[in-house]
Structure 1
Amino acid sequence: QGSDQLWPQGSSAPGFSIIYTKYPKIYDAVPADTHSQRKKPKPHPKGDNTIIGLFGLMRAFYRWCREQDMTANDPFAKYNGKTTERYGTPYYITIEERDQIADFDLSANPSLEAQRDIFIFQCLIGCRVSDLLAMTHDSIINGAIEYMPQKTAGERPHVVRVPLNTRALALVEKYKGREGLNGKLFPFISSQKYNVAIKKIFKTCGVIRMVTILNPTTGKEEKRPIDEIASSHLARRTFIGNLYKKVKDPNLVGSLSGHTEGSRAFARYRDIDEDIKKELVGLLE
């Protein structure tokens, strides 16, 4: 142990000699990364939210190891954190902006039109993109979409049922029976390309107003055109935000979005807008 002569040139990781001595053929077939002359990409700075999330995963891992009697070590025993997660006021598009995108003529670009239709459908049911990608025609039962949110399936599995309105049903019917879908509702592409398409759709349809966001890395306020930061999750926020403006009942809206009662995550979606403020003040008259 500790002999530099047993390690590939340039490597100095403790304990590396044991692995290299036992499995030399691995390093003959796949040279160690230290042999490469290519410069590694410069790491991007991480925001507090990302760091807190990573620490949360590490804490859970050590807790599991202790429960399995794999270790008695608890590096988080005296760690209380140095900061807290911060999120800006949720931004989303209005029903008028949603309809502006939905009714815009994109027939000259069928591929972009299809991704637009997927985004509008997501705005109408409020699911996460991971759940949307898994939906098939079998997910539609008695005029409503039914699914079990994948993100929380391991913690609190439950079925979310969202009735489909006329526009949503028309979108499903539009792509029904098309070749290559294999039972899927829409011609999906990858999540990354879907997000790129959404930004292009917003710009093409003229939904480019400025919004105020909180930069997740610097923690400072920024003004950005909404088309530059639009993504699939904006569809979910649009569903939740506009419903909450109509009914103002977090538990009722949460039953449609898949959030549990009292969810802290759901609280971030609620935007107490000017209309609600006026109604509250009006109660004092």
Structure 2
Amino acid sequence: MKVTFIIKKAAKRYDTESTATIYIRLRNGRQLDSVAPTQLSINPNLWDEKAECVKTKAVCNEDLRTGINEEIRKLKTYVEKSFHTEKESVDKEWLKLTLDRYYHPEKYFTPEEIVIKPTFGELFDSFLEKHPLSEVRKKNFRVVKRALLRYELYVRETKRGQKGFVLDIDTVTPETLRDMWDFFENEYQYYELYPSIYEAIPEKRTPQPRGKNTLIDCFSRIRTFFLWCLDNNLTANRPFDKFPIEECKYGTPVYINLEERDKIFNADLSATPQLEIQRDIFIFQTLIGCRVSDLYRMTKLNVVNEAIEYIPKKTKEGNPVTVRVPLNDKAKEILERYKDHEGKLLPFISEQKYNEAIKKIFKLSGVDRIVTILDPLTRDEVKKPLYEVASSHLARRTFIGNIYKKVKDPNLVSALSGHKEGSKAFRRYRDIDEEMKKDLVKLLD
């Protein structure tokens, strides 16, 4: 099945006055070839036959161009959606009847039967409510939703002739997605230029530059939302078919070896008691390997028979598996230090302050080895001392990296780290150890 738009009147040179009706054509293999007039008309010299829209560079009123092109997209989506719903009853008269129903719904439905189409934001809320997602992923999706709604306001504010622009699940095109990408990439520059947008849809933090991986993650989430709408017959629109998304590019995971970990553990930080506490928490995290979001939820009830037991929050809804990590002597020693602490397992501070503390702890402990990382914005390799890149997630990588170096079995490690079996994350740990490489090369002696 294919829906196209044509005009039957040939363009004449210097003719700027005459108009021609835009027809919609429905073809379904050799079974059907039907044409019907729409309520749209245009000067033939402004029509792009290949693109089936008003020419991009045609000199004309911008409202005319936008209005016709948007209406064509809406009509196409409506006809395609109706066709898939009514496939069995489609005949030669079906296209004319469908257009009449599009333009005059009151003739076919009573007022009570006419359903008001949900807004883009309402559809997104429905997706978040009905699609199985962990709370962490819902939080990430809500960030994307707010950015999409700010994009809608941005288009109204900046695009000539689009003061009434509304994000519509049925009319988003690959071109729209490219424009969205540009907005997401440069949003940090718009905060001061268009303050009303951020007053209407605020964020806790001002927009920061987004790197390529972050943009890929954002648009992967948008694609998930569109696929959900498609699966639930809320649209027939498939803009991502012609908007490929690259895979994220990561560098080799950076982590500290056991000697560096012990250097931090044994460092004298008595002059800064608060850092001393956060050092203990960091070391404890390197010994159980959980994500910081899981660590911060832990209480003394998570200690069961000399082991930490928890269900990873990230995979809780999809595959709720209990992870059990036996406690070694260092982990037990740390828990003993804070046995009188009430409430949470350890005296946690905010995640942001925890990450800031980790960097200071590394520097004070003299863990300043130079490492190679990928710059998240430029994706170029850069050299930095460890204390500049240290974070709570480095604790998790330290746990995974050091165990993986010993056993080289991702399934065994995933049983302790909470990764899904067969997780792609372990591919990045295959080239991380110089000693492993030396052992392999020695096989050639």
TM-score by length of structure 2 reads 0.54
**The structure with more radius of gyration:** 2
1:250 Cα deviation (Å)?
1.6
Counting only pairs closer than 5 Å after superposition, residues 55-66 of structure 1 correspond to structure 2 as 55-66=219-230
Could you tell me which residue of structure 1 aligns to residue 409 of structure 2?
Answer: 249
In structure 1, distance between residues paired with 2:429 and 2:355:
20
Partner residue in 1 for 2:253? 90
SS of the residue corresponding to residue 146 of structure 1 reads strand
Structure 2, gaps ≥5 residues long: 1-62, 64-155, 167-194, 200-204
Go from structure 1 to structure 2 and tell me whether the alpha carbon gap of 1:250 and 1:213 turns closer, same or farther (over 3 Å shift): same
- Partner of 1:141, secondary structure, is coil
| 2:285 counterpart letter in structure 1 | Q
For 2:418, the equivalent position in structure 1 comes to 258
Residue 246 of structure 1 and its aligned partner are, at CA, apart by 1.4
Change (3 A) 1:59 1:105: same
**Number of positions where the alignment pairs a residue of Structure 1 with one of Structure 2:** 254
**2:328 aligned to 145, 150, 165, which one?**
165
Distance 1:35 1:274, change over 3 A: closer
Residue 237 (structure 2) pairs with residue 73 (structure 1): yes
| RMSD, matched Cα | 2.4
Gaps of 5+ in 1: 3-9, 17-31
- The amino acid across from 2:300 in the alignment is H
CA drift of 1:259 comes to 1.4
Which residue identity lines up with residue 196 of structure 2 in the other structure?
D
Would the aligned equivalents of 1:259 and 1:266 in 2 still touch at CA under 8 Å? no
Q: 1:33 aligns with which of 189, 193, 196?
A: 196
Q: Which residue of 2 aligns with 1:144?
A: 307
Aligned amino acid, residue 226 of structure 1: L
Q: 2:317 aligns with which of 133, 154, 168?
A: 154
- The answer to whether 1:121 aligns with 2:265 is no
Counting aligned pairs with the same residue, the percent is: 58
How many angstroms apart in 1 are the aligned matches of 2:263 and 2:299?
27
Offset at residue 84 of structure 1 (A): 3.0
Question: Which residue is 2:273 aligned to?
Answer: 110
2:437 to 265, 277, 280: 277
Change (3 A) 1:101 1:138: same
1:77 match: secondary structure: helix
Inter-CA distance 189–283: structure 2 relative to 1 (3 Å threshold): same
Aligned-pair CA distance for 1:73: 1.8
Q: 1 or 2 for the larger relative contact order (CA 8 Å, sep ≥6)?
A: 1
1:136-215 paired onto structure 2 within 5 Å: 136-178=299-341, 181-182=342-343, 184-215=344-375
1:132 shift after superposition: 0.2
Q: Secondary structure of 2:241's match?
A: coil
Work out whether residues 253 and 432 of structure 2, in 8 Å CA contact, stay in contact via their aligned partners in 1.
Answer: no
